């Protein structure tokens, strides 16, 4: 019987109770096997409790030093995510799904005044893809949902100014069904149409909140003016957007893992930063001192894990002492209750605040289990420098992971400021 690596032992105590994928890694942090499961705890723990393994599995387990988990909505999403991850990482112990000859599917836009969305594969791709999918069925479902969200044309008409002015075209069924705005009869100008294309590109980049907000405001406006048919049409588009978001979640997670793994490798982290917690403090001249944390999982907000803290042991405005108190309270409790630890903890502040956090983590024996960093801002209050516990610092760059860290820093600041203002208002009223 092989001896479990320390990292594996810790991870097995907190396997997510969900469907998803598990990623076995070697001592160099390289992904060597990817699997899926309807229920991750049963599948993953079976590797380490079952003695009747094949020779291949025994060799695999001897090479495993770490494991990461990626949760999905259901088993079907796990299958799709596994497929995408294997094709991206090509783990040496995966045989099935690793063949480069298997087709990938793409959504692209035509180079026209009024662009069309098209489905392509490896054999006919002739333009830059907006998104890559490993499953034909999913790609076609995405295409249909995007046409439910956006009134884009799907015809092959050559819509030129001359052809439109000469009334060469007549509207089709898509127009009568309310699914196309008929640029073929000059029913919509190119500037309004291209505004929808801009929104489409945002959605294909997994940025859904802006369009959701826009459609919700429009729906509420129609309802207020008692234009219920129009409001219901917008509601249909919102429902399609929700369904699209669920449809592509496994793809988004797979893309995020690639980005997070690259960041881990570049900066020699212990963990792939799947669960990230960030901490910030707030007070007004030492009054109503509070702290808060936000957690992001797979690059998205995990609001059920947001936490607020009233500072109890600090009487004067002391950022260092506040972080000391909050981090001790938070991680003492997580350890006591054997809850899942974050992969990365980010402190809002510079080297001084990071030094305080490092001292707490050292005393709680967490430095080998959690990556710890801090972020300081520039004079414009923008995320600027990332500090590591080894004393190194790097300037923020324009990359997906650094951009995510900037978003998380803005979010924790918003969250703690809102908490502080509410507490201060109650204090003033009381």
CB within 8 Å of 165: residues ≥ 6 apart: 186
The label of the residue with tokens 């969900």 reads 18
pLDDT tens for each residue of 138-157: 999 999 999 999 999 999 88
Whole-model pTM over 0.75: yes
The residue-averaged pLDDT of 83-102 equals 72
Nearest-angstrom CA–CA distance, 408 and 412: 6
Half-sphere exposure of 37 (CA within 13 A, CB side): 21
Nearest-angstrom CA–CA distance, 253 and 245: 12
Of 31-35, 74-78, 183-187, 268-272, the range with the lowest mean pLDDT is: 74-78
Strands (E), 200-334: 275-284, 287-297, 300-301, 307-310
The residue-averaged pLDDT of 101-105 equals 71
Angle at 105 between CA 103 and CA 106, to 5 degrees: 145
pLDDT at 6: 67
The label of the residue with tokens 């991850």 reads 85
> Rounded to the nearest 10 degrees, how much is the dihedral formed by the CA atoms of 400, 408, 361, 338?
-100
Pairing of strands 275-284, 344-348: parallel
Query: What is the number of other CB atoms lying within 10 angstroms of the CB of residue 355?
Result: 16
pLDDT tens for each residue of 260-298: 989 999 999 999 999 999 999 998 766 778 999 999 999
Mean pLDDT score across all residues of the chain = 90
Nearest-angstrom CA–CA distance, 415 and 413: 5
Token pair in block for residue 119:
């489905």
Token pair in block for residue 116:
């069309």
Share of the chain above pLDDT 70, in %: 95
pLDDT tens for each residue of 316-360: 888 899 999 999 999 999 999 988 899 999 999 999 999 999 999
pLDDT at 173: 87
Give the 3-state DSSP-derived string for 234-270, with helices as H, strands as E and coil as C. HHHHHHHHHHHHHHCHHHHHHHHHHHHHHHHHHCCCC
The conformation of residue 340, written as its DSSP 8-state character, comes to P
Nearest-angstrom CA–CA distance, 396 and 406: 9
The residue-averaged pLDDT of 1-16 equals 72
pLDDT at 430: 57
pLDDT tens for each residue of 159-218: 988 898 888 888 888 888 888 999 999 999 999 999 999 999 999 999 999 999 999 999
Give residue 101's pLDDT band: very low, low, confident or very high (50, 70, 90): very low
């Amino acid at each position: 019987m092989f001896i479990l690596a320390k990292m594996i032992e810790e991870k097995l105590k907190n396997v997510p109770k969900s469907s998803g994928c598990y990623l076995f890694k070697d001592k160099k942090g390289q992904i060597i096997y990817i699997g899926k499961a309807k229920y991750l705890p049963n599948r993953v723990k079976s590797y380490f409790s079952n003695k009747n393994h094949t020779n291949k599995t025994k060799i695999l387990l001897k090479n495993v030093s770490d494991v990461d988990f990626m949760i999905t909505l259901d088993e079907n999403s796990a299958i799709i995510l596994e497929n995408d991850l294997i094709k991206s990482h090509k783990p040496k112990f995966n045989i099935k799904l690793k063949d480069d000859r298997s087709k990938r599917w793409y959504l692209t836009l035509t180079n026209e005044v009024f662009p069309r969305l098209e489905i392509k594969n490896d054999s006919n791709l002739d333009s830059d893809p907006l998104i890559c999918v490993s499953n034909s069925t999913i790609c076609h479902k995405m295409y249909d949902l995007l046409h439910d969200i956006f009134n884009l044309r799907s015809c092959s008409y050559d819509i030129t100014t001359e052809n439109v002015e000469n009334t060469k075209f007549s509207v089709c069924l898509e127009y009568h069904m309310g699914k196309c705005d008929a640029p073929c009869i000059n029913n919509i100008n190119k500037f309004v149409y291209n505004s929808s294309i801009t929104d489409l590109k945002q959605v294909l980049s997994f940025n859904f909140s802006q369009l959701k907000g826009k459609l919700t405001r429009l729906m509420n406006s129609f309802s207020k003016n008692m234009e219920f048919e129009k409001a219901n049409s917008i509601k249909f588009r919102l429902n399609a957007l929700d369904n699209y978001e669920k449809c592509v979640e496994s793809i988004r997670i797979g893309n995020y893992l690639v980005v997070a793994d690259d960041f881990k490798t570049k900066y020699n982290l212990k963990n792939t930063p799947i669960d990230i917690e960030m901490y910030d403090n707030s007070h007004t001249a030492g009054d109503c001192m509070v702290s808060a944390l936000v957690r992001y999982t797979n690059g998205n907000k995990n609001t059920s894990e947001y936490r607020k803290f009233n500072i109890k042991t600090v009487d004067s405005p002391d950022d260092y002492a506040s972080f000391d108190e909050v981090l001790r309270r938070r991680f003492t409790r997580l350890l006591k209750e054997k809850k899942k630890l974050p992969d990365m903890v980010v402190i809002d502040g510079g080297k001084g605040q990071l030094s305080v956090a490092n001292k707490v983590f050292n005393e709680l024996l967490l430095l080998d289990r959690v990556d710890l960093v801090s972020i300081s801002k520039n004079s414009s209050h923008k995320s600027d420098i990332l500090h590591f516990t080894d004393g190194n610092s790097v300037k923020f760059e324009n990359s997906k992971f650094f951009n995510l860290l900037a978003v998380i820093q803005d979010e924790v600041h918003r969250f703690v400021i809102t908490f502080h203002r509410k507490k201060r208002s109650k204090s003033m009223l009381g």
